[in-house]
Amino acid sequence: MRGNNIMGIIFANLHEDLISELTDVRITGAVPFGGKYRMIDFPLSNMVNSGINKVGVLTKSNYQSIMDHVGTGKAWDLSRKQGGLFILPPFTNTNEYSNRLTTLNSIMPFLKHSTEEYVVITDCDTVCNIDFQDVCSKHLENNADITVVYKRDQIPEKLHDPTVFSFDAKGQVIDVAINSDITGSCSFYMNIMFIKRELLIELVNKCISKNTLNFKRDIIQGEYKNLSIYGYEFNGFSPILTSMSDYFQANMALMKADVRADLFKSARPIYTKVRDDMPTKYGLGSKVTNSLIANGCTIEGEVENCVLFKGVHIGKNTKVSNCVIMQDTVIGADSSLSYVIVDKDVKVKDERTLMGFSSYPVYISKGSVV
């Protein structure tokens, strides 16, 4: 049986500033990740795998790359007569989309005309495979008004407005600290919320009328005493991309078997736009170890601890190690690359040497010629 009583809302452009190199030519949701994916593939697939078949994608500006990627939503089975994918750019000016609350306010007609009872709201900066059905079950079990998804970990240094929760024994939120100086492991918000659609409309209207426009401060922090807000702990693989170093580490984490098993579950696959590449060709004298490689590559050199996206070419006698190389990039012969993030369509000519460091990978921007 397909379909349930839940709809999805995805903020596709928030937190762009944290990985500004990668978002120079695209929005957060369109950032390539893990050899064949874009960041929006994770929330979209999670929603579809949870039986959600109506998803609104909010894009403030520069939405070409995301529209090109998601198209009609066919690859996620979201090209449908009932429900399906809705791309919701601002109607007139981008000021309406200046923050979470005003953005939600500007899609009020979409929210009001929907008939689903619940809404899942999420961002695009976290790589994870989460079952929203389970969040929903817990939400109903707790008889909650709002369920916030959190993880227990150290807060990433650059995370915007980190929101830390305290719970009572039943898991109900009894305190909310935003931007506090908590150190060490704590329960912080993953920007994933489960809420009744009508309650969301009511809260957004209330905030707009009072001109209190901070989603976390005015809805979560402002209402936890009046409403029953429960936490849902997610303890799977879930890196948040708050810096280029995070981005690099999250890609490298895919070399671990348990991470891949957690992220790429065969029963809950991550869907992405299809490109008809042939399988990857490993040439005579190629040497590949501990690497994640997508279809369509041609490898004639040596590859170690790398993520190679679709259609990458590694030339003869070239060694790439600890690199993330995005689609259709060509690395010539007799070159050496180490700790480099190479964006799409880059040409690295023969006999080039590029070196970064594990905590500071070098970045080569889209379409460059080295």
Partner 1 sequence: MYPKQEVVAMLLAGGQGSRLGVLTQKLAKPAVPYGGKYRIIDFPLSNCVNSGIEAVGVLTQYQPLVLNEYIGSGQPWDLDSMNSGVRVLSPYQQVKGADWYSGTANAIYQNITYIDRYSPDYVVILSGDHIYKMDYSKMIAAHKENKADCTIAVIDVPLAEASRFGIMNTNPDGSIYEFEEKPAKPKSTNASMGIYVFSWDKLRKYLIEDEETEGSSHDFGKDVLPKMLADGQRMFAYQFQGYWKDVGTIDSLWESNMDLLDPNVPLDLTDESWKIYSKNPVVPPQYIAEGAEVQNSLIADGCSISGAVDFSVLFSNVVVKPGAVVQDSIIMPGSVIEEGAVVQYAIVSENTIIGKNAVIGARPETIVDKDQWGIAVIGDNLKIGAGAKIAPKAMISKDVEGVEE
Smallest separation, CB 303 to partner 1 (Å) = 8
Report in angstroms the alpha-carbon separations of 25 from 106, 237, 249, 254, 344. Answer: 25, 27, 22, 25, 11
For partner 1, the closer CB: 14 or 326: 326
Task: Please say which residue, 73 or 90, places its beta carbon nearer to partner 1.
Answer: 73
In whole angstroms, how close is the CB of 324 to partner 1 at the nearest point? 12
Q: Using CA atoms, how far apart are residues 193 and 144, in angstroms rounded to an integer? A: 12
DSSP symbol at 75: G
Q: How far is the CB of 61 from partner 1 (least distance, A)?
A: 31
DSSP assignments along 86-132, one per residue: EEE--SS-GGGGSSHHHHHHHTHHHHHH---SEEEEEESSB-----H
State which residue, 225 or 281, has the beta carbon closest to partner 1: 281
> Shortest distance, CB of residue 255 to partner 1, whole angstroms?
8
**How far apart, in whole angstroms, are the C-alpha atoms of residue 284 and residue 148?**
52
**Residue 30 or 294 with smaller CB distance to partner 1:** 294
Say if residues 10 and 123 touch (Cβ distance below 8 Å).
yes
- Token pair for residue 264? 């790429």
Nearest distance, CB of residue 253 and partner 1, angstroms? 13
Element (H, E) at 62: none
**From the CB of 300, what's the least distance to partner 1, in Å?**
10
End-to-end CA distance of the chain: 52
Which of 306, 340 has the CB closer to partner 1? 306
Determine how β-strand 118-123 pairs with β-strand 185-196.
antiparallel
What is the Cα–Cα distance from 300 to 288, expressed in whole angstroms? 10
Tokens describing residue 13 = 């452009």
In whole angstroms, how close is the CB of 213 to partner 1 at the nearest point? 40
What's the angle, vertex CA 115, arms to CA 111 and CA 117, rounded to 5?
90
Specify the residue, 67 or 278, whose C-beta has the smaller distance to partner 1: 278
Residue number, 34 or 315, with CB nearest to partner 1: 34
- Chain positions contacting partner 1, by CB under 8 A: 34-36, 74, 255, 260, 263-264, 269-271, 274, 276-296, 298, 303, 307-308
